Amino acid sequence: MVKYQAVAYSIWNLILGLSILIWQGKSYAEGSPSARSEILFTFAIALFHFIYSIWFWKGREIFSFIKQSLAPRTFVLFFYILCSFLFYQSRNQLELSDDFKWFFLVYLLLHSGEEIANIVFIFFSKRKIDPPDWKSFLHTNFEYKNRFVFAIYMILMGIWILSASDGFLRFFRLPVTVFPGLHSSGFLFGPIHIIGLHFLLLSYYNLIAVFYQIEPLIEAGMRGGSFTCVFLLILVILGILSPMILLIPLVDLISVVLLFGKKLIRR
């Protein structure tokens, strides 16, 4: 049953990512510059859902991965619920279109509901898993150590976005956000902060793959990295994003190239 739950979750993420692109893609073409900045960040959220679709499809039969994903997904769920509550309370104070307000609230609530159903299902599963052998990591091959370094990079990126989103946006020449994040007068999280959270979540998935030495998930990471590079490159070519944005997946691209080169050498 856990396998079918993982397959359903993979399909859910695929559908959710496509729905975001379709709904917000139309709004981006018709919206004002201020509205476009927030919509742009939702495209990145869609990208993460596509990546999760790959990960859970590749890991659908790997119970250790599914079980270990429970804790970080629970944290993400609470963050989404907090975002929903704060956004609903402050929605009339934000200079955003009604369409975007409804979209963002519906997205947060829908994904929260899906996560609740999945987390409850996994939590009550009777299957047990062994703890990872931390010492064995020192003796793993290049692929696993490579993904470990990438996971650390993603953790740093996620912390940067969540703690200083304005500095992150300025560095990569991205538009400003109307959501202040952590602020002296309070806090209000928006799409850019959800992106930071997903950086942390995906880094955790990479660490699971490394410490449990799960080959299919290492492959999922490579495919997800390749998809990210192509996705962002298309947005740069279309003039939607600055070429500076390509620095974000550069580490992943280097990682994928090195892994691919190692495999060619072995052959």
pLDDT in tens, 3-40: 788 899 999 999 999 999 998 888 887 766 657 788 88
Question: For residues 18 and 92, what is the distance between their CA atoms, to the nearest angstrom?
Answer: 28
Cα–Cα distances in angstroms (integers) from residue 242 to residues 122, 149, 198, 257, in the given order: 41, 26, 21, 23
Torsion of CA 129, 135, 209, 193, to 10 degrees: 100
User: Mean pLDDT score of the chain, rounded to an integer?
Assistant: 84
Q: Is pTM, for the whole model, over 0.75?
A: yes
Question: For residues 168 and 192, what is the distance between their CA atoms, to the nearest angstrom?
Answer: 10
Phi first, then psi, for residue 182 (nearest 5°) are: -80, 120
Above 80 in pLDDT, residue 186? Answer: no
Residue 232 pairs with which residues in a beta bridge?
A: none
Above 80 in pLDDT, residue 145? Answer: no
Model pLDDT, residue 64 = 82
